[in-house]
Amino acid sequence: MAKKLLIVESPTKAKTLKGYLGRGYSVLASKGHIKDLPKSKMGIDLEGDFEPHYILLKDKRNIVKKITQEASRSNIIYIGSDPDREGEAIAQHIKEEIEKKVKDVPIKRVLFYEITPEEVRHAIKNPTTINENLVNAQKARRTLDRIVGYSISPLLWKVIAKGLSAGRVQTVALRLICEREEKINAFEKTTYYIIKGIFEKDGIKFEGVFQPAKKIEKKDEIEKIFEDIKDKKFIVSEYTVKEKHIMPPLPYKTSTLQQDASRLFGFSPKRTMRLAQMLYEGVEIDGKNKGLITYMRTDSVRLSEKAIKKIKEYIKSSLGEDYVQRGKRSFKDKGKNVQGAHEAIRPTDVSLTPEVLKDKIDKDLLKLYTLIWQRSVASLTKSAKIRETSFVLIPDKAPDVKFKGKGRELVFDGFYRVLGTRPQDVLLPSMKKGDEVKRVKLEIEEKHTEPPPRYTDATLIKTLEQLGVGRPSTYAPTISTLIERRYVVRQKKTLYPTELGMLVKNVLVPRFPDIFDVHFTAKMEIELDEIENGNTDWKSLIKEFYERLKVKLEDFKDNIKEIKETEVVEKLDEKCPLCGAPLVVKWGKYGKFIACSNYPSCKYTRPLQEPEKTGVKCPLCGGEIVKKKNRKGQTFYACSNYPKCKFTLSHEPVAIKCPSCGFPILEKIKGKKGTYYRCPNCKKTFSEDEIKKSG
């Protein structure tokens, strides 16, 4: 019978700990939060004391039951949820639930900063109590997010369409994407000119470019310079050689892993996380289950002492002493708490090289694992060294026309050897000041200034992280939400705002400028730090926040009609065929539609775009068959008399009589082996040849 109970968040972690602690311990996982605000209502007394009314999550009932059962059989209970704000709240909630059922069993809080037998033993030997300040900071964070989300989203339902949403994180992400689009639209392309030269010395050709500090936008201006120098001698006026060290990259954390997986493999953040989770939970290797990487939701780039030692040993034995990074590398991330809940994302066992795992795990898993493995090993490999040479050439008697260029040579590959890539060398001849070089070719090149690029998953996540908006567990879901709400579409890797996304951003940002300011979250974090340090009372912070917000909410509500009329609904020149009132374009759940301005007394509506006609008559009612889209965006064909007539087809109809049963139309189906036809009535299929023969 187990006498001690330990509760952690992740089931995988629980399994590992069980292995360390052995008999005498029962280890259970809460699988994240067990309590939260109710989904169906605000759950906060906004006119009272702002205490959040957390309820037990439905899908955690069984887990909590198991925890309390096990608790009643234990002499002592340790709660080892993650050592951070959310983890502390989880600990508090677990404690509350246990205390409802089990009395007189001591409940302790333990903090694991690392999952190693020594660290775990140390943590259990030094238990503490729940840190109320951290719990309060979580309450503040949670209530603020709920208040923002649940009081602003309904405004969108009233003004645009039901089902829409707004939030501290998603609306800022949307804002970034939309404002970038506005910048692109406002961008004015300018043309400017440079002169590119190919030179030669000692049989080596190289490139130098004349690019004046002030851009030359007039063609005749550059032509004048060109004419002036085109036949002149070119002399080396400057030549410098520098050795530079290139630092190895830091190990991966969630955000950087998502960025690279997107950039290199085109994986969406969602897919990356699914794959990483599989690597974390473990893969069957030679009949044994083995977790291949450390936890994948982390904002830390710290590596454990033990891991550093192992990886350095690996580097020494595989690449030699010369490649092992000396001294201790600081993994500090801009003064952030290095003692966070998790390590960087790294392989659990560096000796399991990608080569070893080849053929043992799925292709995509191997791709991601390779990335993680290489990056972790590279982070402890020596810097690379390059020799960089830069030169300036000037045409004879024209010292202002400087042709500049750079050469580059990798003299020590260092960590590049682990990554399997290296910067391309650019070779230059040896030169010294005063040398003359041979002019091979000079030409004017037209250049254009470029607008800023649209965000991709990778660049959006990078920006959000830099702003401190969102957490490792939310980067992927945030982008998914924007796409689900139809605020944003992803094409290839690029994120484009939709018309709806722009509308939502334009309605919200000017009316709630501080909340949807890109720096709001960073400011909030400073306040939360004060709560965590015990310097601020969380309730007064939230009260003050809400008092300010309330004014803006009221303003918005007072102006709903006006906002709708001036910013959302578009008036048409057309009159309603039923009542003669003007028609308008409104927003619905599935996009825009045309409706009568007299709603609700007149209920006339029609789709904004007439569905495309196929020219084929409906075999049931004689109406027209039109091309439509279902709510998933897939096309199908249906009778234009819907809902009176419910005839539908999944493929394009053609007015050909079925050779078998005489049904008036056939479906044209594009299969893998070519096009064939099928009768919707008798279901028989016909090849193109058979159709031609039967006429």
Partner DNA sequence: CAGTGAGCGAGCTTCCGCTTGACTT
- Judged by CB under 7 A, the residue of 6, 110, 115, 166 near DNA is 166
User: At closest approach, how far in Å is the CB of 636 from DNA?
Assistant: 3
The answer to whether residue 432 forms part of the interface with DNA (CB under 7 A) is: no
The answer to whether residue 162 forms part of the interface with DNA (CB under 7 A) is: yes
- Judged by CB under 7 A, the residue of 50, 234, 295, 520 near DNA is 295
552 exposure class (CB count in 10 Å sphere: 0-12, 13-18, 19+): middle
CA distance 195 to 310: 53
Q: With CB under 7 A as the contact rule, which of the stretches 64-72, 309-317, 418-426, 629-637 interacts with DNA?
A: 629-637
271 exposure class (CB count in 10 Å sphere: 0-12, 13-18, 19+): middle
Q: Give residues 666-685 in contact with DNA (rule: CB under 7 A).
A: 671, 683
Q: What share of the chain is helix, strand, coil (3-state, %, to 5)?
A: 35, 25, 40
Which of 420, 423, 395 minimizes the C-alpha distance to 407?
423
CA distance 89 to 82: 10
Q: Give residues 568-627 in contact with DNA (rule: CB under 7 A).
A: 586, 588-591, 593, 595, 599-600, 603, 605, 607-608
- CA triplet 455, 456, 458: central angle to 5 degrees? 115
| Cβ-based nearer residue to DNA, 158 or 422 | 158
Task: Return the DSSP state at 294.
Answer: S
User: At closest approach, how far in Å is the CB of 94 from DNA?
Assistant: 12
x-or-dash string of contact with DNA, 212-251, rule CB under 7 A: ----------------------------------------
User: At closest approach, how far in Å is the CB of 375 from DNA?
Assistant: 21
2 exposure class (CB count in 10 Å sphere: 0-12, 13-18, 19+): middle
- Judged by CB under 7 A, the residue of 650, 675, 687, 694 near DNA is 650
The answer to whether residue 170 forms part of the interface with DNA (CB under 7 A) is: yes
Which of 236, 216, 249 minimizes the C-alpha distance to 407?
236
The answer to whether residue 10 forms part of the interface with DNA (CB under 7 A) is: yes
| Cβ-based nearer residue to DNA, 429 or 591 | 591
User: At closest approach, how far in Å is the CB of 648 from DNA?
Assistant: 4
- CA triplet 306, 23, 102: central angle to 5 degrees? 110
User: At closest approach, how far in Å is the CB of 170 from DNA?
Assistant: 4
User: At closest approach, how far in Å is the CB of 185 from DNA?
Assistant: 26
88 exposure class (CB count in 10 Å sphere: 0-12, 13-18, 19+): buried
Catalytic position from the list 78, 192, 295, 677: 295
Q: With CB under 7 A as the contact rule, which of the stretches 36-44, 221-229, 325-333, 399-407 interacts with DNA?
A: 36-44
Which of 109, 128, 125 minimizes the C-alpha distance to 117?
125
| Cβ-based nearer residue to DNA, 5 or 166 | 166
Q: With CB under 7 A as the contact rule, which of the stretches 122-130, 140-148, 176-184, 301-309 interacts with DNA?
A: 140-148
From residue 639, give the alpha-carbon distance in Å to each of 593, 631, 668, 680, 682. 19, 17, 17, 14, 19
Q: What is the 3-state secondary structure (H, E, C) of 61-107?
A: HHHHHHHHHHHHCCCEEEECCCCCHHHHHHHHHHHHHHHHHCCCCCE
x-or-dash string of contact with DNA, 298-337, rule CB under 7 A: ----------------------------------------
Q: Give residues 272-291 in contact with DNA (rule: CB under 7 A).
A: 277, 281
| Cβ-based nearer residue to DNA, 86 or 413 | 86
| Cβ-based nearer residue to DNA, 14 or 311 | 14
Taken as a whole, the chain contains a residue count of 695
Q: Give residues 483-522 in contact with DNA (rule: CB under 7 A).
A: 485, 521
Give the count of beta carbons closer than 10 Å to the beta carbon of residue 331.
16
User: At closest approach, how far in Å is the CB of 282 from DNA?
Assistant: 11
On whether the CB atoms of residues 408 and 195 are closer than 8 A, the answer is: no
User: At closest approach, how far in Å is the CB of 401 from DNA?
Assistant: 54
On whether the CB atoms of residues 647 and 637 are closer than 8 A, the answer is: no
| Cβ-based nearer residue to DNA, 226 or 663 | 663
The answer to whether residue 472 forms part of the interface with DNA (CB under 7 A) is: yes
| Cβ-based nearer residue to DNA, 297 or 310 | 297
Q: With CB under 7 A as the contact rule, which of the stretches 282-290, 411-419, 554-562, 639-647 interacts with DNA?
A: 639-647
Helix (H, G, I), strand (E, B) or coil at 384: strand
On whether the CB atoms of residues 117 and 124 are closer than 8 A, the answer is: no
CA distance 652 to 670: 9
Q: Give residues 60-89 in contact with DNA (rule: CB under 7 A).
A: 82, 84-87
The answer to whether residue 190 forms part of the interface with DNA (CB under 7 A) is: no
CA distance 648 to 650: 7
x-or-dash string of contact with DNA, 86-105, rule CB under 7 A: xx------------------
Q: How many residues bind DNA (CB under 7 A)?
A: 85
CA distance 523 to 540: 16
The answer to whether residue 389 forms part of the interface with DNA (CB under 7 A) is: no
Contacts of 534 (CB under 8 A, 6+ apart): 133
DSSP result, 19-43: HHH-TTEEEEE--S-SEE--SSS--
Catalytic status, residue 280:
no
| Cβ-based nearer residue to DNA, 180 or 485 | 485
User: At closest approach, how far in Å is the CB of 19 from DNA?
Assistant: 16
Helix (H, G, I), strand (E, B) or coil at 354: helix
User: At closest approach, how far in Å is the CB of 669 from DNA?
Assistant: 8
User: At closest approach, how far in Å is the CB of 638 from DNA?
Assistant: 3
| Cβ-based nearer residue to DNA, 164 or 357 | 164
Which residues are catalytic, by number? 295
